[in-house]
């Protein structure tokens, strides 16, 4: 059927379409030019330091050595201590299911200190509290001194609030941001030369997978982005979790930049992947490490209701680009990093990797990524097959936000 329209109508409709076409074209160009860097894959059956340390050191050597990255520098390391230290999958300790293992943290700290790092800060925003990280570690039956003594000049900081700083640092996404134009964060995320994300190899109920990029969702301080944060200024201590970042039911404290578009979708499966990309674009990751020696299937923590079970892939993944690293980690899990919404593990959410690639942060295309060390086929632990066996069950409600 022929649609008749005047020249003015045609010009009007064409002009309206051009910004969207330009944006799509720009996104495609950024994806095509997204960086690619080598990713190292290593094997270790246990967290015994005599096995773990050589495996981690070999991976770093394959990436060109730590010296060129950390010598004389201040290094900030974001670890993953999601949920309360009292959560357990059965009777297992948190570090063999959903926490980054302290021996992996200590190994990385030790090797960075040996490579000449000037100062190393271990960072986390633990379970909506202002308690010292050391206290949270003690509650998890860890010995914090094992990490503090792994290298000279090591310190901890809880980044869930102002901490040791005098003011929050405002960091702006290089990509312009999908949801937030900038973030107000603890000073430690700006006061460093090198930023490292040490994550756990896990699935995630809201985001499909949680790897080095999703680990950075927790850098947002709950004093500003928490459900109980003060309206005008940051609260003195954290109040409530990050549910508001998940669902967009309130804006951050007015002292921080609000969302770019408060009318955008409020679904957390749409929002969380975009917030993660905004955070990684604002606080770039220089070294991504994923602990998959022991972990769990079914989600990000013991609270998930999709038949969570312990798993022992016996694998470590590390790289100098977080998108590349997460792409290889997904492949090790048996998932296609080129997967889009509607395809495992992104059945009901957008792909953080696709959004990060479109923002120009790194490629997820395995054909462009050099894998050094153990080949993916040899390191593979098939989360995808386990996931398929669970698919007969109804989709579980979302767990605690983190």
Q: Tens of pLDDT along 83-93?
A: 999 899 999 99
**pLDDT in the model for residue 14:** 46
**Ramachandran assignment for 119, one of left (phi > 0), alpha (psi -120 to 50 degrees), beta (any other):** beta
Judge whether 281 lies within some domain.
Answer: no
CA-CA-CA-CA torsion for 379, 383, 384, 386, nearest 10 degrees? 130
Judge whether 22 lies within some domain.
Answer: no
Dist CA 236 CA 70 (whole Å): 33
pLDDT at 32 exceeding the cut of 80: no
**pLDDT category of residue 305 using cuts at 50, 70 and 90:** confident
Query: Which whole number is the average pLDDT over 158-167?
Result: 94
Structural domain span for residue 66 = 34-167+186-218+286-390
Query: Which whole number is the average pLDDT over 228-253?
Result: 94
**pLDDT in the model for residue 71:** 98
Other beta carbons less than 10 A from residue 164's beta carbon: 13
Query: Which whole number is the average pLDDT over 327-348?
Result: 97
**pLDDT category of residue 12 using cuts at 50, 70 and 90:** very low
Judge whether 277 lies within some domain.
Answer: no
Judge whether 236 lies within some domain.
Answer: no
**pLDDT category of residue 28 using cuts at 50, 70 and 90:** low
Judge whether 268 lies within some domain.
Answer: no
Judge whether 192 lies within some domain.
Answer: yes
Residue with tokens 């943290």: 105
Tokens of 357: 């690639």
Beta bridge partners of 289: 198, 318
Q: Which of residues 34 and 42 earns the better pLDDT score?
A: 42
**pLDDT in the model for residue 3:** 41
Q: 226-264 burial string, b = 16+ CB within 10 Å, else e?
A: bbebeeeebbebbeebbbbbbbbeeebbeebbebeeeee
pLDDT at 327 exceeding the cut of 80: yes
**Ramachandran assignment for 84, one of left (phi > 0), alpha (psi -120 to 50 degrees), beta (any other):** beta
Query: Which whole number is the average pLDDT over 141-148?
Result: 97
**pLDDT in the model for residue 33:** 82
Percentage of the residues of the chain whose pLDDT score is greater than 70: 90
Judge whether 178 lies within some domain.
Answer: no
**63-75 per-position pLDDT tens digit:** 999 999 999 999 9
Total number of domains constituting the chain: 1
* Chain mean pLDDT for the chain: 92
Asked whether the beta carbons of 268 and 206 are under 8 A apart, the reply is yes
**pLDDT category of residue 361 using cuts at 50, 70 and 90:** very high
CA-CA-CA-CA torsion for 375, 201, 152, 285, nearest 10 degrees? 80
**pLDDT in the model for residue 390:** 84
Judge whether 238 lies within some domain.
Answer: no
pLDDT at 333 exceeding the cut of 60: yes
pLDDT at 393 exceeding the cut of 90: no
**Ramachandran assignment for 177, one of left (phi > 0), alpha (psi -120 to 50 degrees), beta (any other):** left
**pLDDT category of residue 25 using cuts at 50, 70 and 90:** low
pLDDT at 171 exceeding the cut of 70: yes
Query: Which whole number is the average pLDDT over 114-127?
Result: 95
């Amino acid at each position: 059927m022929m649609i008749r329209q005047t020249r003015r109508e045609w010009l009007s409709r064409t002009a309206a379409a051009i910004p969207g076409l330009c944006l799509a074209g720009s996104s495609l160009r950024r994806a095509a030019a997204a960086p690619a860097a080598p990713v190292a894959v290593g094997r270790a059956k246990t967290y015994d330091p005599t096995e773990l340390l050589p495996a981690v050191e070999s991976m770093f050597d394959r990436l060109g050595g730590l010296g060129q990255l950390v010598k004389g520098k201040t290094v900030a390391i974001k670890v993953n201590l999601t949920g309360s230290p009292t959560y357990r999958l059965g009777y297992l300790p948190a570090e063999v299911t959903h926490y980054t293992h302290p021996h992996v943290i200590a190994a990385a700290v030790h090797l960075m200190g040996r490579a000449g790092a000037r100062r190393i800060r271990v960072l986390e925003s633990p379970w909506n509290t202002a308690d010292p990280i050391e206290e949270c570690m003690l509650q998890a039956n860890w010995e914090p001194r094992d990490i503090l003594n792994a290298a000279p000049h090591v310190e901890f900081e809880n980044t869930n609030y102002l901490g040791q700083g005098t003011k929050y640092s405002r960091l702006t996404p290089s990509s312009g941001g999908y949801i937030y134009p900038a973030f107000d964060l603890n000073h430690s995320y700006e006061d460093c030369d090198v930023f490292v994300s040490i994550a756990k190899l896990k699935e995630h109920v809201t985001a499909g997978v949680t790897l080095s990029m999703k680990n950075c969702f927790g850098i947002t301080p709950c004093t500003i982005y928490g459900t109980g944060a003060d309206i005008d200024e940051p609260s003195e201590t954290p109040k409530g979790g990050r549910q508001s970042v998940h669902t967009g039911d309130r804006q951050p404290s007015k002292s921080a930049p609000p969302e770019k578009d408060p009318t955008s979708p409020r679904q957390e499966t749409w929002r969380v992947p975009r917030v993660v990309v905004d955070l990684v674009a604002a606080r770039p990751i220089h070294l991504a490490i994923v602990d998959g020696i022991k972990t769990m299937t079914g989600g990000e923590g013991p609270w998930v209701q999709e038949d969570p079970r312990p798993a022992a892939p016996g694998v470590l993944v590390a790289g100098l680009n977080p998108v590349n690293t997460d792409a290889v980690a997904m492949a090790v899990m048996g998932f296609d990093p080129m997967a889009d919404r509607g395809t495992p593990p992104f059945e009901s959410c957008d792909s953080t990797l696709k959004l990060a690639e479109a923002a120009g942060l790194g490629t997820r295309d395995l054909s462009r990524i050099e894998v050094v060390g153990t080949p993916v086929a040899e390191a593979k632990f098939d989360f995808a097959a386990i996931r398929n066996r669970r698919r007969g069950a109804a989709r579980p409600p979302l767990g605690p936000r983190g």
